[in-house]
Chains A and B, each alone.
Chain A
Amino acid sequence: MAREKSVLLEIKDLHIEGRVDEKWIEIVHGVDLTLHRGEVLGLIGESGAGKSTIGLAAMGFARDGCRISGGSIEFDGMELTSTPESDLRVLRGSRIAYVAQSAAASFNPSHKIIDQYTEAPVQYRIRKRMESQEDAIELYRRLRLPNPDEIGFRYPHQVSGGQLQRAMTAMAMSCRPDLIIFDEPTTALDVTTQIEVLAAIRDIVDQFNTAAIYITHDLAVVAQMADTIKVLLKGDEVEQADTRTMLDSPQEEYTKSLWAVRSFRSAQKTPADPSETPVVSMKNVDAAYGDIKVLEDISFDIHSGRTVAVVGESGSGKSTAARCITGLLPPTSGTIEFKGEVLPASYKDRTKDQLRQAQMIYQMADTALNPKKRISEIIGRPAAFYGNLKGADLKKRVDELLDLIELEPRQFYERFPAELSGGQKQRIGIARALAADPTFIICDEVTSALDQLVAEGILRLLDNLQQELNLAYMFITHDLATVRAIADEVVVMKDGRIIEKGPKDEMFTPPHDPYTDLLLSSVPEMDPDWLTTLLEERGVDNVGEAARDHQS
């Protein structure tokens, strides 16, 4: 890839402040950034790292309640911090464009997609309205949107999320800008849809030799998109290097920790004895929300001491299956057996002991712990409720549990959830489940809201606990890296049905059902050539959708 090497954007010592309670607090502390024409820079960091704020600052824009308080932003020889707002406005849309995270919210619901496309070119007199419409259709075709001649004349809510995101990329291109800011453009999408959008973005950025800042928290994604990667932490730069160097030999401790997570693998256990009664067994379960059928003929077993990972995209029914097991959503037909005996369909009809044996750990630790209760109450309640423990016995049990999840009892006993970090909260969630002394635990996306390093700690803890207490896990996730790390068996779901199930090692070696293949192959890998290779394998015109057509 030969690129022009003239500097397009140069940010020096950028400081940005945010308004909290009538006071200005600095949220970006002196970041430098250089971007050449045609270059793609990946900005990566956790939430709160200041990625989006820096991205917007590159347009000379600060959100309400934020202000650029120091440093310089030079775009193509123009100092944006001292340019009057009216001149900045003319830059936006024409020379610097923006692609937002949620296309569904960022398209105006009152106007047709194509009218929003033509707005900027017509306003800047770059093209006439009709010309711009033809141009839009051309770009829609290039981005492989279905029905490119017609799709623009629909309203945003009439188009699916992945297609809208591509339409928004097209819209950003409408004036052929020099620079596009992509702000987490695929975060809200499923993996199979994400591929289409990633391919579209990379394709179009290449073709027009546009420079881009690609903001994301997903390392594997940025590895595909960026020439250079800059890592941010809490408004400071950690390090910057070109993509391959960064992936092969990160320098800083923090960056290494980001990379580290994918190393954990639980030991492969021997397959469970098929004659042994499974702890939980779903037998031909159908379920529906009102008239809408959400599960169809679901059957699988979970044996003690084993982890079954249930994998699928959003809407596949994986969480619904868990709701059926817990009794929150009684199945319309089929049964759920616990250690060989049939459980009542609704949790309201189950005995206290049945409820005790099956526990649940949630994705969002913030909403899973009552913010007005102390840690001792949160963990103590199940112990008191099921075990009738009181006073000193109860305190001893709570201490034991806190030890079990590797938190110092004296430090945490009296605290409220708000005083804990995300990982600590998730550990408290685990302790609450353990307090009931269960045999089976449902883990619903327990690591997806956590930073990578913390997530790994949680996975190790769960693995240790499983060996120590011989627990059975049902592990619901959309993240295949997590599946690789912890599962013994895998169940793949789509549209409320089981597509495939089997031991982990089998599932990660082909051949498979086409959907499983599509799903497995769509998960971005850290290899920078992964997307290129994948697109070649699939044939460039076949980006996901063809495989999906084949599927249905």
Chain B
Amino acid sequence: MNYFIIGYYAMLIGASCVAAYFKNRQAFLLIFTLTLVSFVMGLIGGESVLWSVTVAAGLIAASAGIAYSFREFLIIILPKQGAKTMRTAPLTASFGLFVVIIYVIAAVFAPVIAPFGQAEVVGTSFAPPDDKMLLGADQLGRDMFSRIIYGARNTMGLSLMTTAIAYLMGCVLGMLAAVRGGWLDQFLGRLVDVIMSIPSLIFALLLLSIFGTQLYILVLVIAFIYTPYVFRLSRAVAGNIVVMDYIEAARLRGEGTWHLITREVLPNAMAPLVAEFGLRFCFVFLLVAGLSFLGLGIQPPTADWGSMVRENATLISFGEITPLIPAAAIALLTVSINFIVDWMLYLSAGLKD
């Protein structure tokens, strides 16, 4: 028994008592369950488990704090309408916004922020962190921190471009199918079903093995694989719109297909499509990261989070967390986008009624 363990349990039990006193049933249940769970885990795993729990709780509390203050910050600086929306935002969403903004800044100003170039060898291989290199060096002696900053630019930029291409093709085809109907709709629908019946990672591996792994091929292949998913989405969204009477009215007026798509269907399809863009970006991003991790995505020496995990994986067996940093960077971004999308979907669903 040491002071840490005594303090740990005293804190938890104290907090649950406070929650119970203020009749906050949910908070009490949460804290007390945590107490019981750490009791069991502590018996099995010893003190280190309790430390991990403490660190995790601290991280969550810190994130909640950041999220809270960032939301307040946005409420103050945004114009009226935006501030009003932000006030209803859950903490998860404002945390997501915060992370995404940080990432975007890192990506845009990468050369300014990063102390070294992404391919520049500045130290010995696997050099530990020092004043010069914040996170140490990788297997070739390049600065990890600089590479992570550049990685934001490369991985995100590539995924964004790919998603945009897939969206453009998928939406145009999907809306065309919905508005035109008939054999075109049938044909595209069947085609998409077939393409989607090959798992996307497998399909990507097959195509990349054939066409090589140049950057533009990577973009085109992944965009091609994701187009059917966007097609299905936009076809479904537009499908709900084209049955509306105002579309029928426009058809009977004699309006052309292009007018129907751009003026009548698209304005009504924007909200769900934009929300879904975030999700699709996540999927593309994860696929790119996965491919890079397998050594078939973005090629060295270009910095990229997926391949950085793979290159430094051996460090894990020495108990180092360095290779987990780029992996965590990937997870953090996708989690954040999911948080925002969750909120946006909730907002657009709430607007309906």
Q: Does A326 belong to the interface (CB within 8 Å)?
A: yes
Q: B254 touching A385 by the CB < 8 A rule?
A: yes
Bound: A386/B264 CA distance, A: 18
Known: A328-B252, A355-B253. Is A364-B267 also a contact (CB below 8 A)?
A: no
CA distance A347 to B249 in the complex (A): 12
A328-B252, A367-B245 provided; 17 other pairs, C-beta below 8 A?
Answer: A21-B88, A21-B350, A328-B251, A352-B254, A355-B252, A355-B253, A359-B252, A360-B248, A362-B248, A367-B244, A368-B244, A368-B245, A368-B249, A381-B253, A385-B255, A386-B253, A432-B249
Which residue from A21, A369, A373, A382 sits with its C-beta under 8 Å from B253? Answer: A382
Indicate whether A372 sits within 8 Å of B88 (C-beta atoms), given known contacts A352-B254, A355-B254, A385-B253: no
Contact A367 B246 (CB under 8 A): yes
Q: How far is the CA of A426 from the CA of B197 in the complex (A)?
A: 46
Residues of chain B contacted by A109 (CB below 8 angstroms): none
> Which chain A residues in 368-387 approach chain B with CB under 8 Å?
368-373, 381-382, 385-386
| Chain B residues within CB distance 8 Å of chain A | 88, 244-246, 248-249, 251-255, 264, 267-268, 350
- In the assembly, what is the distance between CA of A359 and CA of B245, in Å? 13
- Using Cβ atoms and an 8 Å threshold, which residues of chain B touch A355? 252-254
Tell me the dominant secondary structure on chain B's binding face: helix
A436 at the interface (CB under 8 A from B): yes
A360–B254 CB distance below 8 A: no
The tally of residues in A whose CB lies under 8 Å from a CB in B reads: 26
CB distance from A199 to the nearest CB of B (A): 36
For this complex, 20 residue pairs linking A to B, each with C-beta atoms less than 8 Å apart, are: A327-B252, A328-B252, A347-B251, A347-B252, A350-B254, A355-B252, A355-B254, A360-B249, A364-B245, A367-B246, A368-B244, A368-B246, A368-B249, A369-B246, A370-B264, A370-B267, A381-B253, A385-B253, A385-B254, A432-B249
B268 to chain A, nearest CB (A): 6
Q: Considering the chains assembled together, what is the distance between the CA atoms of A362 and B249 in angstroms?
A: 9
Name the A residues within 8 Å of B249 (CB-CB): 360, 362, 368, 432
> In the complex, what distance in Å separates the CA atom of A21 from the CA atom of B255?
39
Please determine whether B253 and A371 come into contact, CB atoms closer than 8 angstroms. no
A367 to B240, CA, bound (A): 11
Instruction: Determine how close the nearest CB of chain B comes to the CB of A336; give it in whole angstroms.
Output: 14
Let me know if A360 and B252 touch, CB within 8 A: yes
How many A-B residue contacts, CB cutoff 8 Å? 49
Collect the chain A residues with CB atoms within 8 Å of residue B267's CB. 370, 372-373
Q: Is the CB of A362 within 8 A of B245?
A: yes
Digit string of A322-363 for contact with B (CB within 8 Å is 1, else 0)? 000011100000000000000000010010100100011010
Give A367 to B264 CA distance when docked, in angstroms: 12
The 10 closest A-B pairs by CB, nearest first: A372-B267, A368-B245, A362-B245, A370-B246, A367-B244, A355-B254, A367-B245, A352-B254, A372-B268, A368-B246
Report the bound CA distance from A394 to B88 in whole Å: 42
In the complex, residue of chain A having the shortest beta-carbon distance to the beta carbon of B255: A385
Which of B246, B267, B268: most chain A CB closer than 10 A? Answer: B246
Give Cα A21–Cα B88 distance, bound, in whole angstroms. Answer: 9
**Shortest Cβ gap from B330 to chain A (Å):** 33
Residue of A nearest to B267 (CB): A372
Contacts of B248 in A (CB 8 A): 328, 360, 362
Residues of B within 8 A of A369 (CB): 246
CA distance A22 to B264 in the complex (A): 33
Closest Cβ–Cβ distance, residue B347 to chain A (whole Å):
10
Contact between chains at A370 and B268 (CB < 8 Å): yes
Tell me the complex Cα distance, A385–B250, Å: 11
Query: What residue of chain A has the Cβ atom nearest to residue B350's Cβ?
Result: A21
Chain A minimum-CB-distance residue to B90: A22
Q: In the bound complex, what is the Cα–Cα distance between A352 and B244 (angstroms)?
A: 22
Q: Give bound CA distance, A369 to B244, whole Å.
A: 9
Within the assembled complex, what's the spacing in Å between the Cα atoms of A503 and B267?
46
Q: How far is the CA of A545 from the CA of B251 in the complex (A)?
A: 42
**Which residue from chain A places its CB closest to the CB of B243 in the assembled complex?**
A367
CA distance A58 to B246 in the complex (A): 41
On whether the beta carbons of B245 and A326 are closer than 8 Å, the reply is no
Closest to A444 in B: B245
Chain B nearest Cβ from A432, distance in angstroms: 7
Residues in A498-519 with C-beta less than 8 Å from chain B: none
Nearest Cβ distance between residue B51 and chain A, in whole angstroms?
Answer: 37
CA separation between A276 and B267, bound complex, in Å? 46
Kindly state the separation between the CA atoms of A372 and B88 in the bound complex, as whole angstroms: 24
How close is A177's CB to chain B, nearest CB, in angstroms? 34
Chain A residues within 8 Å of B268, by CB: 370-372
Cα of A385 to Cα of B260 in the assembled complex, Å: 13
CB under 8 Å from chain B, chain A span 252-309: none
| A204–B24 CA distance with the chains assembled, in angstroms | 50
Complex Cα spacing A303 to B88, Å: 58
Enumerate chain A residues within 8 angstroms of B254, measured Cβ to Cβ: 347, 350, 352, 355, 385
Contacting residues, chain B, for A21 (C-beta < 8 A): 88, 350
CB distance from A373 to the nearest CB of B (A): 8
Q: Which residues of B contact A381 (CB under 8 A)?
A: 253
B256 to chain A, nearest CB (A): 11
Q: Cα distance A350–B254 when bound, in Å?
A: 9
Nearest-Cβ distance from residue B253 to partner chain A, whole angstroms: 6
* A321, chain B: closest CB distance, angstroms: 15
B254 to chain A, nearest CB (A): 5
Chain B, residue nearest A433 (CB): B249
Nearest neighbor of B244 in chain A, beta-carbon distance: A367
Q: How far, in angstroms, from A382 to B252 measured CA to CA in the complex?
A: 11
Identify which of residues 382-400 in chain A touch chain B, using a CB-to-CB cut-off of 8 Å: 382, 385-386
Chain A residues whose CB sits within 8 angstroms of the CB of B245 once the complex forms: 362, 364, 367-368
B179 to chain A, nearest CB (A): 13
Measured CA separation A326–B245 after assembly (Å): 13
Cα(A308)–Cα(B248), bound, Å: 23
Residue of B nearest to A358 (CB): B252
A465 to B264, CA, bound (A): 28
Contact flags A173-201 to B (C-beta < 8 A → 1, else 0): 00000000000000000000000000000
Chain B residues lying within 8 Å of A360, measured Cβ to Cβ, are 248-249, 252
**Smallest Cβ distance from A429 to chain B, in angstroms?**
9
A58-86 interface (Cβ within 8 A of B): none
